[in-house]
Amino acid sequence: MRQLILDTETTGLNARGGDRILELGCVELVNRRLTGNNLHFYINPERDSDPGALAVHGLTTEFLSDKPKFAEIVDQFRDFIEGADLIIHNAPFDIGFLDAEFTLLGLPPVKTYCGEVIDTLARAKQMFPGKRNSLDALCDRFGISNAHRTLHGALLDSELLAEVYLAMTRGQESLVIDMLGEAQTGSDTHAPRVALESLELLVVTASDDEIGAHEAVLDDLDKAVKGASVWRLEATPASDE
């Protein structure tokens, strides 16, 4: 399972109004483990940043003047994201800017090349309704140090978001994925394999007492995270009409 934590810095807030991407960072996770195979570009946006945006990222027109233009890095970026899920905080913002850049080059939308787009801001709002869910707030909530973050930067923010995402999704499902990852990357490539399709699994239905005990545990987890735990967020399957 390959996932990319992605973040951008831009000249302003309005992609449709002509604002451009000036920094792009991606951090790679494979089977929920950081690989160090990251992608990072400073980009010449071919325009000045708005004063408010400049105060956020600190990347001046002079600094960016000799950096590659988006057209020069787009092929490497498309190859890097091919088939991977993208994890983005406030995904509509970054995807909107990427799609605007792709449109300028006559390319189809970003989702043509990647897998699922996961918005951690939307998930955080589900988990912590009514609370601040900025990246800084989530770092504080999950005990992730961001003391070195004085200005926003695409790669630094991606690295922080990777830690936040792993903390947000840590649980029984992720532990199984971690075990699969260890098995797939282990040194014993000749270990015997089990044909899972040939197995008949016995399904044991929980009793009423067991369901009650399970709900009590989830209630305790909700109190511990001061919101809805991840097991409360699974959508109810639509009924057939």
Annotated binding residues for substrate: 7, 9, 57, 157
Query: Quick one: 225 exposed, middle or buried, by C-beta within 10 A (0-12, 13-18, 19+)?
Result: middle
Q: How far apart are CA 68 and CA 188, in angstroms?
A: 43
Half-sphere exposure of 169 (CA within 13 A, CB side): 21
- Residues facing residue 28 across a β-bridge: 4
Catalytic residue status for 152: yes
Q: Tell which residue, 109, 17, 22, has the closest CA to residue 64.
A: 22
Residue positions forming the annotated binding site:
7, 9, 57, 157
Q: How far apart are CA 22 and CA 97, in angstroms?
A: 11
Residues 142/163, Cβ–Cβ less than 8 Å: yes
From 40, 148, 152, 190, the catalytic residue: 152
Residues 88/95, Cβ–Cβ less than 8 Å: yes
Residue positions forming the annotated binding site for a divalent metal cation:
7, 9, 157
Q: How far apart are CA 113 and CA 84, in angstroms?
A: 8
Query: Known catalytic residues?
Result: 152
